Structure 1
Amino acid sequence: MATLIVTLSRFKAATFSTAPVAQGSLCRTETITMPASGTQTADGEEIVELLADADCWVAIGAAPDSSLATDGTGTARKLKADIPYTFGIQDGEKVAVEAA
Structure 2
Amino acid sequence: MATLIVTLSRLNARRHATAPVAQGSQCRTETIPMPASGDLVANGEEIVELLADADCWVAIGADPDSSLATDGTGTARKLKADVPYTFGIQDGEKVAVEAA
TM-score, scaled relative to structure 2:
0.98
Displacement after TM superposition at 1:12 (Å): 1.6
CA distance in structure 1 between the aligned counterparts of 2:16 and 2:59, rounded to whole angstroms: 29
Aligned to 1:50, the other structure's residue is in SS state strand
Gaps of 5+ in 2: none
Gaps of 5+ in 1: none
Displacement after TM superposition at 1:13 (Å): 1.4
**Cross-structure match for 2:91:** 91
Q: How big is the alpha-carbon RMSD for the aligned residues of Structure 1 and Structure 2?
A: 0.6
Deviations 1:37-95 (A, max 9, x none): 00000000000000000000000000000000000000000000000000000000000
Displacement after TM superposition at 1:14 (Å): 2.9
Pairing 1:6–2:6 present:
yes
TM-score, scaled relative to structure 1:
0.98
CA distance in structure 1 between the aligned counterparts of 2:90 and 2:16, rounded to whole angstroms: 20
CA distance in structure 1 between the aligned counterparts of 2:32 and 2:16, rounded to whole angstroms: 32
- Equivalent residues, number: 100
**Cross-structure match for 1:55:** 55
Aligned to 1:25, the other structure's residue is in SS state helix
Displacement after TM superposition at 1:17 (Å): 3.4
The one-letter amino acid paired with 1:34 is: M
CA distance in structure 2 between the aligned counterparts of 1:12 and 1:20, rounded to whole angstroms: 6
The one-letter amino acid paired with 2:54 is: A
The one-letter amino acid paired with 1:93 is: E
